């Protein structure tokens, strides 16, 4: 319950979320390696724009290539042994990202607004493993659910190139709140249960349209101005930064342009509607839940929708 209160407070305060996170009983390390480079001219780069056709965006990004919700990311193939990324002005300074090559372990680093970060180098573990077979697969995910990045440029070495990697043939989407977004988990998005299930399925695309504190009913809940029955239809989430970027006129999510259409949609909502602090009536809750499911069927007619019941729901003693 202490934790619930803490994030409710953090959401209300907006920007500053400071907490000690324990990981296997030890304080989580947050001194991630510095990847920012200051002198771009010292490198011989072949540079691509953020909207290059070779880059496959995963999860929700707006038309300015700003990321939202939990664990959004992108994938591309690259030749050579170097990848750097320049982050745009709508990046939240210090956002934690995870990235990896060819499905190996995630490497974490904080990225900076306007900074160019050198993520893959000849020293990156495993970079030579597939030699002489090209390309390697590069994947990046934004790991902080409340923060986000804007992609400006992608760089490889001169003479090298990006290569389009086709998506996997199966897709799962999670629609949820803190439990799916990875709130309180060590790396947030990349340690959420939604990520774990999506990744664990293997060769499956996964999208996590989840935000802590959100209700399904369309009303203010724990600082989220709208509920999922409304917000799921938009690119941006209910964060303060989405409001800074889009005001109260966010971009509708372009379902037509999705790289893959989910085969399975898992909805895990209701924890926040059930909290007396949010005062959602049973009628409003059921009505919103039904409308969201109808909306999902409308956008993805062939998808199976799985509605999760939070086992502890009836035991959650709601505090104000
Ligand atoms: C972003 O963070 C970096 C390192 O943490 C710092 O050097 C830089 O001044 C910050 N930039 C802005 C615009 O706050
Ligand atoms: C890097 O990210 C971690 C995890 O979100 C955070 O605790 C830490 O303060 C960040 N560091 C900087 C310099 O922003
Ligand atoms: C995905 O589907 C396409 C077309 O049916 C097929 O050619 C391809 O082998 C499949 N890929 C995987 C990884 O199963
Ligand atoms: C909760 O909602 C009901 C009706 O929607 C209203 O009468 C009541 O005053 C609300 N309670 C709080 C604490 O906001």
Long-range contacts of residues 238-245, Cβ cutoff 8 Å, at least 24 apart: 238/211, 238/214, 239/68, 239/146, 239/148, 239/211, 240/14, 240/15, 241/90, 241/92, 241/147, 241/148, 242/68, 245/62, 245/64, 245/66, 245/90
Q: Whose CA is nearest to atom 3 of ligand 2?
A: 30
* Amino acid 130: pLDDT: 79
Retrieve residue 85's tokens.
């990324």
Candidates 3.60.9.10, 3.40.50.1110, 1.10.260.40, 3.20.20.10; CATH matching 171-307: 3.40.50.1110
**For ligand 1, atom 6, which residue shows the shortest CA distance?**
112
Is the peptide bond between 92 and the residue preceding it cis, with omega within 30 degrees of 0? no
Q: Rounded distance, CA 138 to CA 95, Å?
A: 19
Checking DSSP bridges between strand 151-157 and strand 45-49, what pairing results, if any? antiparallel
Query: Bigger pLDDT: 115 or 3?
Result: 115
203 Cα nearest atom in ligand 3: 13
Please return the burial class of 263, using the count of CB atoms within 10 Å of its CB with bins 0-12, 13-18 and 19+.
Answer: middle
| Nearest Cα residue to atom 13 of ligand 1 | 113
Whole-number Å distance, alpha carbon 18 to ligand 2 midpoint, is: 10
Ligand 3: atom nearest CA of 169 is 1
Please give the distance, rounded to the nearest whole angstrom, from the Cα atom of residue 169 to the centre of ligand 3: 6
| pLDDT tens, residue by residue, 120-172 | 999 998 898 877 778 999 999 999 999 999 999 999 999 999 999 999 999 99
Confidence (pLDDT) at 320: 36
pLDDT score of 48: 98
pLDDT category at 10 given cuts 50, 70, 90 is very low
**Cβ pair 61, 141 in contact under 8 A:** no
Q: Would you call 309 helix, strand, or coil by DSSP?
A: coil
pLDDT, position 15:
41
Residue holding tokens 């340690």?
A: 191
Q: Whole-number mean pLDDT of the chain?
A: 90
Q: Given ligand 4 and candidates 279, 285, 319, which is best to mutate, with the most ligand atoms within 8 Å of its CB?
A: 279
Kindly give the distance from the C-alpha atom of residue 279 to the centroid of ligand 4, in angstroms, as a whole number.
6
What is the distance in A from the centroid of ligand 4 to the CA of 60? 34
- Cβ–ligand 2 distance for 94 under 6 Å, the answer yes
Atom of ligand 4 lying closest to residue 281 CA: 5
Q: What is the pLDDT of residues 250-292, one digit of tens each?
A: 999 999 999 999 999 999 999 999 999 999 999 999 999 999 9
Q: Where are the domains of the chain?
A: 40-163, 171-307
Q: Which CATH architecture has domain 40-163?
A: Sandwich (2.60)
* Pocket lining: 279 vs ligand 4, CB cutoff 6 Å: yes
Q: Name every protein residue with a CB atom under 6 angstroms from any ligand 3 atom.
A: 169, 203
Residues in contact with 179: Cβ distance below 8 Å, sequence separation at least 6, in sequence order? 192, 193, 210, 268, 271, 310
d(C-alpha 210, C-alpha 198), whole Å:
14
């Amino acid at each position: 319950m202490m934790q619930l209160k803490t994030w409710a407070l953090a959401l209300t305060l907006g920007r500053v979320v400071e907490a000690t996170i324990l990981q296997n009983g030890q304080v989580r390390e947050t001194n991630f390696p510095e990847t920012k480079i200051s002198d771009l001219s010292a490198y011989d780069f072949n540079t691509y724009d953020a909207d290059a056709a070779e880059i496959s965006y995963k999860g929700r990004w707006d038309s300015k290539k700003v990321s939202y919700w939990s664990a959004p990311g992108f994938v591309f193939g690259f030749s050579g042994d170097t990848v750097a990324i320049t982050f745009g002005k709508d990046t939240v300074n210090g956002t934690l990202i995870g990235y990896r090559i060819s499905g190996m372990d995630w490497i974490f680093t904080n990225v900076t607004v306007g900074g160019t970060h050198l993520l893959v180098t000849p020293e990156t573990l495993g970079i030579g493993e597939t030699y002489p077979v090209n390309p390697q697969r590069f994947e990046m995910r934004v790991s902080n659910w409340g923060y986000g990045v804007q992609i400006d440029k992608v760089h490889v070495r001169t003479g090298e190139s990006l290569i389009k990697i086709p998506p996997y043939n199966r897709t799962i989407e999670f629609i949820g709140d803190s439990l799916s977004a990875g709130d309180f988990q060590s790396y947030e998005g990349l340690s959420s249960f939604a990520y774990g299930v999506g990744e664990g399925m293997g060769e499956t695309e996964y999208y996590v349209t989840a935000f802590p504190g959100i209700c399904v009913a369309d009303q203010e809940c724990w600082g989220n101005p709208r509920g999922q029955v409304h917000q799921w239809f938009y690119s941006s989430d209910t964060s303060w930064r989405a409001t800074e970027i889009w005001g109260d006129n966010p971009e509708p999510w372009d379902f037509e342009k999705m790289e893959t259409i989910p085969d399975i949609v898992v909805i895990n909502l209701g924890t926040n509607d059930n909290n007396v602090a949010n005062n959602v009536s049973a009628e409003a809750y059921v009505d919103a839940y039904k409308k969201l499911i109808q909306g999902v069927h409308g956008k993805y007619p062939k998808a199976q929708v799985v509605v999760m019941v939070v086992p502890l729901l009836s035991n959650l003693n709601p505090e104000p």
